[in-house]
Structure 1
């Protein structure tokens, strides 16, 4: 009977939420592990997002020190805890972060609208254990680095973008997805200059990931996250534009952007108004051969009467004279007599 068992796709993989429970991770820890490449995911064939295969879960569960080792690999700390972990002051740790010596892996916006950067505890321990960093941890900051800090250098947003781009590229399944990952770090104005075809630009925007969710859409926290997501340095913008142009050429060769077909874009023929044709006058029925039958109720038509046969016209009677006129004439006649 075992040969008749049907294996469902859900038996070979599971959703991220279920995978997090089976691995003993919170959902935020699971997402960070995927972000760092510690947990491999696969696209859902049904189009329902990414899933985790059973083979990947078995690989992680069979690793040495599971689940403590997996939990420790995704543990994050802020500035205060990071400084304590490296045995330096918070001010020195902040200088390390601004100089790009330690790279943030996540961030959030607190209630005071301040950006709080988070770092991997594992990476901070490795930095502190490196003997090449002893002078940085215990001595004075080199003069060249101090000048950069005084000029306002802060590489935390840019380093986070580089790390986030690596995550997006690992999740990309094709050239259009890779182009969308690069476009996610560019301003829309920059994208419009590179991709001037509106149909191609609309197709690219379908694969452009949104910035990490921070607060409600349109809120101050969301605007801060969007600003951190967008490249600002000229050299960073330059290489992003160059990479996007190159990947777009590959994407066009792989699968051109869809556009309306000729049948949809061709203008429809204008309907001509139907001009009514003049209707023919009703034909007068011709008389039949027998005069007695045409017309049925009229007498036979004869020749027109002559002048002698026409009746004399009546002579109009003279209008009677007014009573006053007859009285005046009679008075004159009597007077003359």
Structure 2
């Protein structure tokens, strides 16, 4: 199921039930209700295990009571839910799949194992994390037996020797899916695609300055990895930005299509360049002219003159 479909279904649920921010759960409360740590809850949302809806008050995302009940009613709750969001690194992943670390790394570089998270350690090395459940499924699939034992096929070895590493690209693809599931506005969907492109690439596609400014309002934050401008921050920014020519090409095409769709549904706001005409009325008094007497004071003066007589 696509991210857009999930978003539309969740939005429809809000409309049908009349949910407000008072009846839906904030992330922290939802995590407690589901017996998850906050980090586990965030990853469950990222993987699509937990559906969220926009906060009507503009405060982020929330979880409907019905979604909490659906997850609680699932077989094996809560341990099955916790297991589905458990992540492992290279060493633990290799042990789980019963392969060497070197083979595990080769499989990941070839794009056969898709990371869901990463962080930059104190040695400025990128540590990739993978859903343990997906690794178990890969190892249990008989079609992958030849990849888990014996020599890596020659064609794949050649690609590895040339420096192939699809881990960053696969992470970006997975991250984009998450962003699209959270996007409730056509411009937010376009901004999700734009977030994986270099700003120069984005400005070449979105040439209208008002549309570009509006798009940037919806641009999601990159995953936090160190202070801005720090070595870790630079590494994270490189991972977050598409680098392969074919990846850049299809992201540019997707961005152009998403902006065109957003333009049709909800054009970007523009300043009103035409002055608002003033309503018709009496012409203003010339500057320096004496202000007329107030009506009350005039009536009083005339009355005194009448009483005095000729």
**CA separation in 2, counterparts of 1:259 and 1:50?**
28
Secondary structure at the counterpart of residue 152 of structure 1:
coil
After TM superposition, the structure 1 stretch with the greater mean CA deviation from structure 2, 121-130 or 169-178, is: 169-178
Deviations 1:11-59 (A, max 9, x none): 5211101111111111111111000100000001111111111111111
TM-aligned CA distance change 1:264 to 1:117, over 3 Å: farther
Secondary structure at the counterpart of residue 63 of structure 2:
strand
How many residues are treated as equivalent by the alignment?
Answer: 261
Q: CA deviation at 1:259?
A: 1.3
Q: CA deviation at 1:174?
A: 2.5
Alignment partner of 2:35 out of 4, 21, 24: 24
| Larger radius of gyration between Structure 1 and Structure 2 | 1
Higher relative contact order (CA 8 A, sep 6+): 2
- 2:174 corresponds to 1:163: yes
Alignment partner of 2:144 out of 130, 133, 150: 133
Q: Give the match for residue 182 of structure 1.
A: 193
TM-aligned CA distance change 1:42 to 1:8, over 3 Å: closer
Q: CA deviation at 1:221?
A: 1.5
**CA separation in 1, counterparts of 2:19 and 2:240?**
39
Secondary structure at the counterpart of residue 262 of structure 1:
coil
Q: Give the match for residue 200 of structure 1.
A: 211
Tell me if the contact between 2:176 and 2:192 (Cα under 8 Å) persists in the aligned partners.
yes
TM, length-normalised to structure 2: 0.81
Q: Give the match for residue 15 of structure 1.
A: 26
| RMSD, matched Cα | 1.8
TM-aligned CA distance change 1:8 to 1:249, over 3 Å: closer
Secondary structure at the counterpart of residue 77 of structure 2:
coil
Q: Give the match for residue 216 of structure 1.
A: 227
Deviations 1:250-292 (A, max 9, x none): 1111111111111479xxxxxxxxxx9xxxxxxxxxxxxxxxx
Q: CA deviation at 1:10?
A: 4.6
Q: Give the match for residue 112 of structure 2.
A: 101
In the TM superposition, 1:60-139 aligns within 5 A as: 60-139=71-150
Q: CA deviation at 1:75?
A: 0.4
Q: CA deviation at 1:219?
A: 2.0
**CA separation in 2, counterparts of 1:205 and 1:10?**
26
**CA separation in 2, counterparts of 1:244 and 1:158?**
17
Alignment partner of 1:256 out of 267, 273, 276: 267
Q: Give the match for residue 324 of structure 1.
A: none
The answer for unaligned runs of 5 or more in structure 2 is 1-17, 277-287, 289-310
**CA separation in 2, counterparts of 1:223 and 1:55?**
41
TM-aligned CA distance change 1:245 to 1:10, over 3 Å: closer
Q: CA deviation at 1:225?
A: 1.1
Secondary structure at the counterpart of residue 221 of structure 1:
helix
- 2:256 corresponds to 1:245: yes
Q: CA deviation at 1:146?
A: 0.3
The answer for unaligned runs of 5 or more in structure 1 is 1-6, 266-275, 277-337
Tell me if the contact between 2:187 and 2:218 (Cα under 8 Å) persists in the aligned partners.
yes
**CA separation in 2, counterparts of 1:194 and 1:244?**
7
Q: CA deviation at 1:139?
A: 1.0
Tell me if the contact between 2:191 and 2:216 (Cα under 8 Å) persists in the aligned partners.
yes
